[in-house]
Amino acid sequence: MTANPILLQKKYARIIELFSQKETLSLDDALAFFYRSELYRLISEGVSDLHCMSDKYLTEELIFEYKKTLSQ
């Protein structure tokens, strides 16, 4: 299932904002990481209808991916 592009962009914005707040990153840094993330790729490709998951859940997944990248 594909999501409405406008609604998807709004979802991205909410996830980026939450991610920025939780990890105390600037919005620019949060935005840059999000658009390079595996999570973004999966959501944008419609894999497993991830776009249907809550913003909080997706933000936690992004944080997990972020922390994993930091530890490498």
pLDDT value, residue 64: 98
**Overall pTM > 0.95:** no
pLDDT value, residue 21: 98
Of the pLDDT bands very low, low, confident and very high (cuts 50, 70, 90), residue 1 is low
pLDDT tens readout for residues 4-56: 889 999 999 999 999 999 999 999 999 999 999 999 999 998 888 899 999 99
b/e map 15-54, b = 16+ CB within 10 Å = bbebbbeebebeeeebbebbeebebbeebbeeeeebbeee
Instruction: Determine the length of the chain.
Output: 72
pLDDT value, residue 46: 85
